[in-house]
Copies of this chain bind each other. A is one copy, B any other.
Amino acid sequence: MAGLVKFKQHPTKTLKAGGSFNLADVDPDSTPGFTGNKADGKALLADLDSKLAELQEKLFAESRFGGTKRILLILQAMDTAGKGGIVKHVMAAMDPQGVQFKAFKAPTEEEKSYDFLWRIEKEVPAAGMVGVFDRSHYEDVLIHRVHGWAAPEELKRRYGAINEFEARLTGSGTKIVKVMLNISKDEQKARLLARLDEPAKNWKYSRGDLTERAFWDDYMAAYQAVFDNTNTDEAPWHVVPANKKWFARIAVQQLVLGALTDLKLEWPKADFDVGVERELVARS
């Protein structure tokens, strides 16, 4: 354990998709701000598990005494980019009781009959919780843009509605962390082939992944439009190079730790007289 390698620059800064950000400039193989290798990354991830768990417990504890703070991690990515791995290897350090996980699939007929934010609103995290969205309302400006299911003026309306929706969440105590896991097209090919080559992974393969893969460049343009239109001060986007799974995991861990730290959490002070209660328990 001698020599735990830490980030030189924090991912909240280096991975921000702000200003004149251009997705095409990001190298999915890179490890911005981190000079260590895979083993260093794994050691850092494990080292910070308990910190993450402690902050999450504080968040939960505050809510029991009227606190309204909460976290919402939004994960977006091309197929196989590792959203599931983030949930399994980063978020799993937290107490499952304090994590509200939701995977958004293709909308049902009922969901389609409402505005696109209707099904999202129902899944926003409760006070004290860490919410995790595996896909989200951003699908409505990604796949919908790629396949032309929404016209340009409707997309524009949706960007605005998303910004208002997220501002409302932020205003009621939610710290939003938006992450796009950025893999290269070649890396996706390798991962799809791995799913076919390992029988225990076959179930993860779907022909649909291949269909969407054919629209790779359109997806990249749609993501760029998302960053251009929905990167706000309250809810900024972070683009995480994800060809190296271990890097994506430590980067997202840092982003979530950063968000929890920003909330300035404290253990709730007892709203009862500890001495009196102690005496009552002792006598019981």
Residue positions of A touching B, CB distance < 8 A: 61, 64-65, 84, 87-88, 91-92, 95-97, 99, 101, 103, 132, 134, 189, 192-193, 196-197, 199-200, 202-205, 207, 210, 213-214, 267-270, 272, 274, 277-278, 280-282, 284
Task: Report which of B92, B203, B268 forms a contact with A64, defined as CB distance below 8 A.
Answer: B203
- How far in angstroms is the closest Cβ of chain B from A119? 16
A281/B202 in contact, CB under 8 A: no
Residue of B nearest to A216 (CB): B284
Inter-chain contacts of A207 with B (CB < 8 A): 272, 277
Task: Report which of B87, B96, B202 forms a contact with A88, defined as CB distance below 8 A.
Answer: B96
Q: Considering the chains assembled together, what is the distance between the CA atoms of A51 and B200 in angstroms?
A: 14
Q: Give the dominant DSSP class at A's interface.
A: helix
Residue of B nearest to A134 (CB): B97
Task: Report which of B95, B196, B202, B204 forms a contact with A92, defined as CB distance below 8 A.
Answer: B95
B91/A196 in contact, CB under 8 A: no
- How far in angstroms is the closest Cβ of chain B from A71? 14
B267/A193 in contact, CB under 8 A: no
Q: List 6 A-B contacts (CB under 8 A).
A: A61-B204, A64-B203, A97-B101, A196-B278, A202-B268, A202-B274
Residue of A84, A97, A204, A207 with highest tally of chain B CB at under 10 A: A97
Q: Considering the chains assembled together, what is the distance between the CA atoms of A267 and B198 in angstroms?
A: 11
- How far in angstroms is the closest Cβ of chain B from A88? 5
How many subunits of this chain does the assembly comprise? 2
Task: Report which of B189, B199, B281 forms a contact with A193, defined as CB distance below 8 A.
Answer: B281
- How far in angstroms is the closest Cβ of chain B from A274? 5
Task: Report which of B134, B189, B199 forms a contact with A267, defined as CB distance below 8 A.
Answer: B199
Task: Report which of B267, B281, B282 forms a contact with A203, defined as CB distance below 8 A.
Answer: B267
A88/B95 in contact, CB under 8 A: yes
Inter-chain contacts of A92 with B (CB < 8 A): 92, 95-96
Inter-chain contacts of A277 with B (CB < 8 A): 196, 205, 207, 210
Inter-chain contacts of A204 with B (CB < 8 A): 61
B97/A103 in contact, CB under 8 A: yes
Inter-chain contacts of A192 with B (CB < 8 A): 281
A214/B96 in contact, CB under 8 A: no
Q: Considering the chains assembled together, what is the distance between the CA atoms of A87 and B197 in angstroms?
A: 35
Inter-chain contacts of A278 with B (CB < 8 A): 193, 196-197
- How far in angstroms is the closest Cβ of chain B from A166? 23
